[in-house]
Amino acid sequence: MSPLLLVSPVLLPMLGFIISLGFWKRPPLQRWINIVVSVSLVAVGATLVWAAADGEVGAVRLGDWPAPVAITFVVDRLAAVMILFAGVVATAASLYSLGGIDRRREAFGFHPLMLTLLAAVCGAFLTADLFNLYVWFEVMLLSSFVLLSLGGGRHQLEGAIKYVALNLLSSALFLGAIGLTYGMLGTLNMADLAEKLAAAEQPERFTPVAAVFITAFSIKAAAFPFFFWLPASYHTPPAIISAVFGALLTKVGVYVIIRFFSLMYPGSHPDAALVYETLGWIAGTTMLLGVLGAAVQTNMRRLLSFHIVSQIGYMLMGLAIAGAALAVAERPGLDEAERNAALAAATLALAGAVLHTLHNMIVKGGLFLVAGVVERTEGADDLNRVGGLYKSRPGLAAIFFVLAMSLAGIPVLSGFWSKVLLVKAGLEAQAYGLIATSLLVSVVTLFSMTKIWMYAFWKPAPEPSPIAESDRVSSIGTRDPRSGRGLWAMYAGCLILATGAVVMGAFAAPIVDYVEAAAANVIDPRNYFDAVLDRPQRLSTEATP
């Protein structure tokens, strides 16, 4: 992999941002810059996936500093596929923005901010340095702060205050944990850290620091017990911003949790069983509370926000099962067959977690975009105020149906396969409690998706009650709600993501293979260590499971 290709997921959006700043007074041009950058990010992501497919890990040491000192960007199968999907979501969102964002917000820098957000998300996927990760988190936060509060309005500002306060607290905790880590192990390079920790005499001493890390990361990822800021803020900005946040930001949190714990807590760590059991409890509670919160909502986007939380639980569940299985595999006195079975279960569970993350980026983004179309055409986002959309907008109904059924995990759509992997791995690893919880949560998910379907699409349109001006959605974010201008672009954005959900379901075999290989890389990160620390890679790049 050439160094330029490796850094381009960050470089392209940054370049786009700088060029957009030069055309501050010309939002129409910024729109097209946004689209061009997003599409090229898909191309870059696809190239990276192709280049990483044989298991080779690419790394570039910025500034050509020697190995553990340099800030390293590293691409393995997992990072590559995350970048590809972030590109797909960005493409759908940038197309949708042709009709889905109002002039005023565009004039105050909506497009450049989307680009910095994208750059930061890709930076967080690529970096192998904890402090650099902190910097990308802050870039991401600052862009999202402005996007969330852009345009003002009481709801948005109130939502933004909660979001800002909790995320700043998370950053401060993360920073403190970085300081403690550096004091203990004397490095912040993640590969170097993992090797030093594995060689440490008392690796248990790192566990309290890891507890601070998991607190900081679970605020970012909106996991139990730190999820309450998300449903209080994500539904306040225009739908397109909710969609991008819901698709990308929490997933960065999950990605970082997967990276951090797979590196620092391999099965051989004496505290691994404890750590992954804790994660299992966090995962189960997150998915249950999220979905129960969603079940009582009547506002579409608020309902979807609670579902973000619930789905985070599934991703963490995959990691928890994988880690527990890895800890079992390291137990003394196991024969070869038992050890291999535990390793296989771990790979499967982690593959399920990764696949579920990817599927959620597509589907959750798509559902928010559909909610945005409904808000725009109906002028309301409360399920009691809309209806009859199946009759008046069959195309939209079809798109919503695909996305909603995919979220609930109905066969042949994308959500089905990730849940199959998770459940299969859970059965092999005998995590019956988590499996039962996740299946229950699936049923309630289906229930709340059916609720949107019944209320917004099937039931006859309600009497057009005069909506008080104060009740009107302040953030519909369109030029003229009732006119059809730009509606095609909004449909196009939704359609891209719905197609993604169908393709991921229909062509599941190659995707599952790839994700399993990515999970195997994460579980056995020797190539990652070698790439980051500038050594020849030990694992054969041909041997893919």
d(CA 320, CA 314): 10
Nearer to other proteins, 153 or 462 (CB): 153
- State the nearest-atom distance from the C-beta of 343 to other proteins, in Å: 36
d(CA 94, CA 33): 9
**Does 266 interact with other proteins (rule: CB under 8 A)?**
no
- State the nearest-atom distance from the C-beta of 201 to other proteins, in Å: 19
Strand-pairing partners, residue 75, are 58
**Contact stretch for other proteins (CB under 8 A) within 142-150, 199-207, 359-367, 477-485:** 142-150
**Contact stretch for other proteins (CB under 8 A) within 131-139, 247-255, 397-405, 434-442:** 131-139
Out of 46, 53, 180, 492, which residue is the one contacting other proteins (CB under 8 A)? 180
Q: Is 296 exposed, middle or buried (0-12, 13-18, 19+ CB in 10 A)?
A: exposed
Q: Which of these, 248, 274, 210, 326, lies nearest to 92 by C-alpha position?
A: 248
Q: Is 507 exposed, middle or buried (0-12, 13-18, 19+ CB in 10 A)?
A: exposed
Out of 78, 114, 141, 343, which residue is the one contacting other proteins (CB under 8 A)? 141
Out of 5, 62, 152, 526, which residue is the one contacting other proteins (CB under 8 A)? 152
**Does 155 interact with other proteins (rule: CB under 8 A)?**
yes
Task: Find where tokens 């998910």 sit.
Answer: 445
**Contact stretch for other proteins (CB under 8 A) within 20-28, 100-108, 134-142, 257-265:** 134-142
Q: Are 82 and 255 in contact (CB under 8 A)?
A: yes
**Does 146 interact with other proteins (rule: CB under 8 A)?**
yes
**Does 149 interact with other proteins (rule: CB under 8 A)?**
yes
**Contact stretch for other proteins (CB under 8 A) within 33-41, 229-237, 363-371, 532-540:** 229-237
Long-range contact pairs involving 532-538 (C-beta distance under 8 Å, separation at least 24):
532/57, 532/59, 532/67, 532/72, 532/74, 532/128, 532/189, 532/190, 532/191, 532/192, 533/67, 533/68, 533/189, 533/191, 533/192, 533/195, 534/59, 534/61, 534/66, 534/67, 537/56, 537/57
- State the nearest-atom distance from the C-beta of 146 to other proteins, in Å: 7
**Does 297 interact with other proteins (rule: CB under 8 A)?**
yes
DSSP 102: -
Task: Find where tokens 């910024």 sit.
Answer: 30
Q: How many residues bind other proteins (CB under 8 A)?
A: 43
**Does 19 interact with other proteins (rule: CB under 8 A)?**
no
Out of 23, 108, 131, 401, which residue is the one contacting other proteins (CB under 8 A)? 131
- State the nearest-atom distance from the C-beta of 478 to other proteins, in Å: 21
Rounded-to-10 torsion of CA 74, 76, 82, 85: 110
- State the nearest-atom distance from the C-beta of 409 to other proteins, in Å: 25
Q: Are 91 and 35 in contact (CB under 8 A)?
A: yes
d(CA 247, CA 117): 12
Residues in the chain: 545
**Does 62 interact with other proteins (rule: CB under 8 A)?**
no
Window 157 to 176, contacts with other proteins (CB under 8 A): 157-162, 164-165, 168-169, 172-173, 175-176
Out of 102, 138, 277, 524, which residue is the one contacting other proteins (CB under 8 A)? 138
Nearer to other proteins, 178 or 353 (CB): 178
> How do 72-75 and 58-61 pair as beta strands?
antiparallel
- State the nearest-atom distance from the C-beta of 317 to other proteins, in Å: 24
**Contact stretch for other proteins (CB under 8 A) within 140-148, 254-262, 369-377, 392-400:** 140-148
**Contact stretch for other proteins (CB under 8 A) within 96-104, 179-187, 353-361, 397-405:** 179-187
> What amino acid occupies position 392?
S
d(CA 238, CA 477): 5
Contact set with other proteins (CB under 8 A): 131, 134-135, 138, 141-142, 145-146, 149, 152-155, 157-162, 164-165, 168-169, 172-173, 175-176, 178-180, 182-184, 231-233, 235-236, 293, 296-297, 302, 306
